[in-house]
Structure 1
């Protein structure tokens, strides 16, 4: 192989390796939470989101106050959603944060209860356990203010559907 051809092959391999290592995943297109995605506490929480949840890497999004993990995406997070009032939804505590659980078309959704601004997380439970997700998000979500409201009837697990 000629030196020029060897250099070209090396350059091509270097570009391919750099692309693979940089995670050339496309930007996740999301709509921000309609209420308060621009709340300063959302910004405080978003900058503290984990770089990965389990083996799913954090992805870039095009929405303020939002985060996503995995390719394909298995976890979506929206900060600034409406703060829930008293609810009949099951409530689960994880690391001092109360979450209301509901089934949605995309899987399971968990919305913080007793926090303002509120955070909503949509999880594909076939790909990752909700308990893992909520545990790994707890530190970042703790940067939203507590309102003093707590769930009265608590579920003892976040693994069920």
Structure 2
């Protein structure tokens, strides 16, 4: 019988590592194929550096919904079906009579005109971030609370104010 070729300890360790890692990588690729990508339209200023700063800080879970893959720059999605959608780079809202709330230091204008889907848009931050929440599946307040840390990297240059009826102001 011919002598067995000598292999180094390093070569045997590498072969063992590949034997262990290969099935794990294959399983990851197979499972990734199960979750469909959420198709979103990117916002006008999605390529802004500030949006990249937001996207890299997005949490894995929002309102107890797992993060999903999206197909557009400056976006995020959570839930299956997607219950929370985020787009960075939308136009900054101007003065409005819509309700404006502050959550964890981030001001949000709330558009409830398409209930039960609520649209939250950051106020006083450029570019603005828009979050659309299906309020039948998740709480809008919980969603924007979970996203506040990521969104707060865009500096605030304005804040919510209360509109006062001039008749109520005493000179």
- Answering whether residue 39 of structure 2 is matched by residue 29 of structure 1, we say yes
TM-superposed deviation, 1:55: 2.4
Query: Is residue 114–residue 146 contact of structure 1 (8 Å, CA) maintained in 2?
Result: yes
Larger relative contact order, structure 1 or 2 (CA cutoff 8 Å, min sep 6): 1
In the superposition, the TM-score normalised over structure 1's length comes to 0.79
- Answering whether residue 85 of structure 2 is matched by residue 76 of structure 1, we say yes
Are residues 31 and 103 of structure 1, via their aligned partners in 2, closer, same or farther at CA, if it must alter by over 3 Å? same
In the superposition, the TM-score normalised over structure 2's length comes to 0.74
**Which structure 2 residue ranges, 5 or more long, are not aligned?**
1-25, 164-171
Q: Deviations 1:16-38 (Å, cap 9, x if unpaired)?
A: 89845x5721111111012x100
Q: Structure 1 runs of 4+ off > 4 angstroms?
A: 15-20
CA distance in 2 between counterparts of 1:143 and 1:104 reads 28
- Answering whether residue 102 of structure 2 is matched by residue 93 of structure 1, we say yes
Higher-Rg structure is: 2
In structure 2, the residue matched to 1:115 is 125
Aligned length: 139
